[in-house]
Every structure is written in C-alpha cells, then in structure tokens.
C-alpha cells in the first residue's frame, strides 16, 4: 500500500539489487498474498496484527541465517605493488619511496584497480565501470584526469609506473 507501487514491487526491486534479508510486514493475509510475497523474494512474511515479541524473534532469525550463510571475505593481501609504490589495502594507504602518498578516495580506488593486475592494460571504459560504477562511456575523460593527477603525485616516474598503452588505456608497471 505504498505510494506509486506496492510492497511486492519494492520487495522485487530490493531483491534484484541486494541479498539483504527481507521481512514483509503486511495486512495482506491470504495464502495467495503470502505465496506472492515469498515469490517476489521475501525471506519471511508476517501479517498484522502481530506480537512485538514475534517480530523481534523473526528479525533475529533472519539476521542469524543471513550471517551464517554469507561467505567470508576473501583475504586481502597486506600490500600490493613493487619496491617503490605500495598499496596497503587494509589500511587504505599508499606509499611511494617509503613516504605516505596523499590520495583521494577515487585515486586510491583507481590505483588499486590497476595494481591488482600489474602489466595488464585497462581501457578507460573498464576503469570507469570498475571505479566509478558508470556503464556509459560518457565520462572517460574523468579517468584521464585522475590518471594525470596520480602521475603528478608520483613525480617524474609517474608515466613509467602508470603507462599509457596507446589505443587501449593504462597499465600499472613497476
């Protein structure tokens, strides 16, 4: 009974975007409504009126199941890079020649994307999708500007560390 669309549609949209636990709390009580809600991706279905104790128990059960079945995060290597440029992914810090490198969030993510596959050429479009989440090629100049900023922060060695692969894009090499 939401404005614009109903809870089933909201449930469908949430399930499409995320794997979060979904509990439908609704006045719809028929078996067909319950089946529809669960079919749209809900993990549980509770009808009004309800007991606050039951609601809390169901939420706890959903969270318990969600955390039990999530896969552990992959081990993050402590440092990426070579002898001169290193990226500490866990602490979100970059070092160049032993000194902390002041990077913006986007510069860090861009460098991280490049350093995960040393020597591999990345197109501007791929970097745009991976770092910025854009699917359209409209902002490829944004990648060029951020690469330029990174190179400036790396000094005279910047163009050798982040190489331009003519006709393709960029690659990290050290």
pLDDT in tens, the chain (174 residues): 667 888 888 888 888 888 889 999 999 999 999 998 899 899 999 999 999 999 999 998 888 887 776 566 666 567 888 889 999 988 889 999 999 999 999 999 999 999 998 999 999 989 988 888 876 766 788 899 999 999 999 999 989 999 999 989 999 998
Contact 100, 109 (CB under 8 A): no
Please give the pLDDT value at position 97. Answer: 92
Does the domain at 80-172 match CATH 3.40.47.10? Answer given as no
Which pLDDT belongs to residue 80? 86
Q: Write down the domain spans for the chain.
A: 7-69, 80-172
Predicted pLDDT of residue 71: 61
- CATH superfamily label, 7-69: Response regulator (3.40.50.2300)
pTM tops 0.85, yes or no? no
């Amino acid at each position: 009974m939401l404005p614009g669309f109903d809870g089933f549609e909201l449930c469908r949209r949430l399930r499409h975007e995320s794997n979060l636990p979904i509990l439908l709390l609704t006045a719809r009580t028929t078996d067909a409504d319950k089946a529809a809600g669960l079919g749209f991706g809900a993990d549980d279905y509770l009808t009004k009126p309800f007991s606050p104790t039951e609601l809390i128990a169901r939420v706890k059960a959903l969270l318990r199941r969600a955390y039990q079945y999530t896969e552990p995060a992959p081990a993050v290597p402590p440092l990426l890079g070579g002898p001169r440029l290193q990226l500490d992914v866990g602490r979100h810090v970059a070092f160049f020649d032993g000194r902390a490198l002041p990077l913006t969030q986007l510069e860090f993510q861009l460098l991280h994307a490049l350093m995960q596959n040393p020597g591999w050429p990345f197109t501007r479009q791929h970097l745009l999708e991976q770092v910025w989440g854009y699917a359209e090629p409209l902002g490829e100049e944004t990648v060029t500007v951020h690469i330029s900023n990174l190179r400036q922060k790396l000094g005279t060695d910047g163009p050798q560390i982040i190489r331009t692969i003519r006709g393709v894009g960029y690659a990290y090499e050290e």
